[in-house]
Structure 1
Amino acid sequence: MAEALGRTITKARLEHHLEGIKITENTEALTHQQFADDTMLLGSANSMEAMTFKSILNQYASASGQQVNHGKSEIFFFNTNYRIETEISRILEFLVGKLPCKYLGFNLDKGKDKKDLWKNITEKVKRKLDSWKNKWLSSAGRLTLIKSCLSAIPIY
């Protein structure tokens, strides 16, 4: 069902009902990111876009029997007028979130140095690798252990 949700959002963008956001000038606009049962909606800060997302979420809920958990759902704004923030938050029924926060175990923060953003992850991996077992591993064994730890993070 999550695949159907993603396709519906993509269709709305292709039909120009959603703008999404552009990361760089020469790329397609992003409207959503999905990971397992988590969906991150990305869009322009306007009421029409919010109503389109709300309509898509309502269609999804009707078709799947699943509901948006409004207690866990947040919306983040960047350089947006407070009146528009309030209107969009009301339409989507999401709380306005504040940075820094965590998403899927990653610290999210506006304007932070990339080194600081990855610090938490690198510390977790380092703690795993500092166990007594890795002291007896060859270089190839350590590399395999590192790859294993790193590849498990997104899966977790």
Structure 2
Amino acid sequence: MEMLACFISHRVSQGSWNPIAVSRNGPRLFHLMFADDLLLFCKISKAQVIEVMHCLDLFSRELGLKVNLHKSKAQCSKKVSERRKEVFSGVFNIRFCNDLGKYLEINIGHAKASRRTTQEVIEKISRKLSSWQRCPLNKVGRLYLVKSVMAFISVYDMQIFLLPKYACNKIDFLMRQFLWKGQAIGKGLPLVTWEVAITPRRAGGLGIRDTSCANMAFLEKLVWNYLNNSKKLWEQVLKHKYLRNQSDMNKNSRNSSSATWKNIVNAYEHLKEGFR
């Protein structure tokens, strides 16, 4: 994959591969890789599609790693007509779709946290709870599972989405029910209040992570990385698209902004109160 990345970069430097940019002066995108997953970006033209397929074909012949086109997907701008999509499909035999699906359990489209999205998170936690109900666990064992498993099921979602308050309350409710009752419903006596349960152990609590606070902390981590200029690609893309050489983040949130950027701005409002 590193060899493929170098080869693509070489074709871009030669001018054969035309990358895309989401803002006028922003960084150009031509590929993103993680393990064996690959995203390729190019201008929407027949010549560019042929160039992409040519690069993949050379890569396959050199290393013997064939691209599975049946498991691949293509997506383009909403302004591209269906007729043009048919022309491109005939070139690379990859089906077009409106949604590239999920990666690490997160929708690649990064839409806002809708009721459907939050419901999926709650259902994952509920299924995990149901699988544990048949196990004879004492409160210490249940506390360990709550802290090490249940509280981390929604981690990927919380790094992108700002979950609604009702979703955070529901997740806390499921953790509370399992801790004291061993199931979603039933009888059980809470030994301490939930406020004590989510208090850190060094302060006399049980150390369970509060969902709403954890969600905001994950988004505030993005703000902190951004303000410290770590030069990551996502930071450069957002900086050129929304800030445009301005420093005040809360003045650059428009209705047309992406849901991810709005969540980051929301976290910035919470975090800046502690700036020194």
Q: Same fold (TM over 0.5)?
A: yes
Map 1:45-56 to 2 at 5 A. 45-56=44-55
**1:42 counterpart = 2:41:** yes
Task: Considering fraction of residues, name the structure with more strand.
Answer: 1
Q: Is the contact between residue 32 and residue 40 of structure 1 (CA under 8 Å) also seen in structure 2?
A: yes
- TM-superposed deviation, 1:107: 1.9
Q: How does 1:1-156 map to 2 (within 5 A)?
A: 2-78=1-77, 79-99=79-99, 101-104=100-103, 105-109=105-109, 112=111, 114-116=112-114, 119-120=117-118, 123=121, 127=125, 128-129=150-151, 130-131=174-175, 132=178, 136=197, 138-139=199-200, 141-142=207-208
Q: Retained in 2: the 8 A contact 1:50–1:88?
A: yes
Give the drift of 1:137. Answer: 6.1
Q: Percent identity?
A: 17
Q: Which structure has more RCO (C-alpha within 8 Å, separation ≥ 6)? A: 2
* 1:45 Cα deviation from its structure 2 partner: 0.9
Change (3 A) 1:5 1:115: same
How far residue 87 of structure 1 moved from its aligned partner, in angstroms, is 2.0
Q: 2:75 and 2:109 mapped to 1: Cα distance?
A: 11
Q: Which runs of 5+ in 2 are unaligned?
A: 126-149, 152-173, 180-193, 202-206, 219-276
- 1:116 maps to amino acid: S
Runs (4 or more) in structure 1 with deviation over 3 Å come to 115-122, 130-133, 135-138, 140-143
1:83 Cα deviation from its structure 2 partner: 3.0
Letter in 2 for 1:96: F
